């Protein structure tokens, strides 16, 4: 099946035409003639202007070949037959996906075509999705997102604490945000902290909560060590994903979750002892 597309523009704008056949789409741009160059063809007094060559062309294709090698000016081949150089072989997709061809562009400069330039990478689209599925794509982007781990804050803050005294821990609740593009549409992806699992490093059971804690005196996450030694507090944060189209106020949830692990510096646990001293100032 072949499709021919043409769009006529004003004298100030290029004319675009294109064809679609099998798994390739080609589009050409033709510059309008200048008044001084709009002369009739030889032997023709009808006033019809000469046919003009295209100035730019684009092709969407899962594979692209050249009629000539990359060392000189190149022309896009209609197919990759024997003797033509394969310049772009596309990507491999899963069994339930089909490739969406890459977009290439060429420009005519001083009568010669430039080398074909890759404008947009090829992608894979599940065959069962006949329409663009932004939420599913956002979920995949969230799973691939690199999430900065939560900070672990400890009080006392100087790297030591006392036996049988509350050691306070807390973290931040700032979402991690990524700006990206899905199917050419600008979107924002963000990871929002959901739960926190605190491991105080002394063999006690981790404390899992939705509470990020707070600094003294409004603290809500604390642990009292039973004996002196050293410990490191680690925090596992579970994140949920959301997305929104750029410029929209509403965030929408996506499926799946992510986790990060962070830890404090080593903490020295000291034992305070009461000691009687002589009253040097007594009467």
- 142, 260: one domain: yes
Q: Say what the pTM is.
A: 0.52
- 170, 257: one domain: yes
The reported pLDDT for the residue numbered 169 is: 97
CA proximity to 170, closest of 217, 226, 205: 217
Domain that holds residue 78: 2-35+44-126
Say if strands 267-270 and 160-162 run parallel, antiparallel, or are unpaired: parallel
pLDDT at 195 over 90: yes
- Cα→Cα distances 70→22, 104, 118, 205, 249, Å: 26, 15, 14, 64, 48
Q: Which helix (H) or strand (E) holds 177?
A: strand 176-182
pLDDT at 247 over 60: yes
The encoded tokens of residue 2 equal 């072949």
Q: Which residue in this structure is represented by tokens 């070949």?
A: 65
Total domains in the fold of the chain:
2
Is residue 81 in some structural domain? yes
pLDDT at 148 over 80: yes
Which of 91, 126, 161 finishes a domain?
A: 126
Which of 109, 126, 143 finishes a domain?
A: 126
Find the CATH number of the domain harbouring 179. Answer: 2.60.40.10
């Amino acid at each position: 099946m072949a499709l021919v597309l043409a769009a006529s523009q004003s004298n100030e704008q290029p004319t675009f035409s294109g064809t679609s056949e099998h798994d390739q789409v080609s589009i050409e741009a033709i510059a309008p003639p200048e008044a001084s160059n709009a002369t009739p063809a030889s032997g023709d007094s009808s006033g019809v202007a000469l046919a003009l060559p295209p100035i730019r062309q684009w092709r969407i294709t899962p594979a692209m070949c050249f009629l000539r090698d990359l060392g000189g000016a190149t022309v896009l081949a209609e197919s990759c037959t024997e003797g033509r150089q394969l310049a772009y072989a596309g990507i491999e997709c899963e069994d339930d996906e089909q490739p969406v061809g890459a977009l290439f562009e060429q420009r005519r400069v001083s009568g010669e075509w430039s080398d074909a330039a890759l404008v947009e990478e090829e992608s894979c689209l599940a065959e069962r999705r006949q329409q663009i599925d932004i939420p599913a794509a956002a979920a995949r982007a969230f799973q691939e997102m690199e999430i900065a781990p939560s900070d672990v804050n400890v009080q006392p803050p100087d790297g030591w604490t006392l036996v049988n005294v509350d050691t306070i821990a807390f973290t931040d609740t700032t979402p991690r945000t990524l700006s990206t593009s899905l199917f050419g549409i600008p979107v924002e992806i963000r990871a929002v902290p959901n739960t926190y699992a605190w491991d105080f490093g002394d063999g006690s059971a981790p404390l899992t909560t939705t509470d990020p804690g707070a600094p003294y005196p409004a603290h809500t996450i604390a642990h009292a060590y039973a004996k002196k030694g050293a410990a490191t507090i680690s925090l596992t944060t579970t994140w949920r994903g959301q997305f929104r189209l750029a410029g929209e106020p509403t965030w929408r949830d996506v499926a799946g979750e992510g986790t990060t692990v962070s830890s404090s510096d080593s903490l020295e646990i000291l034992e305070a002892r009461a000691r009687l001293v002589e009253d040097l100032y007594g009467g």
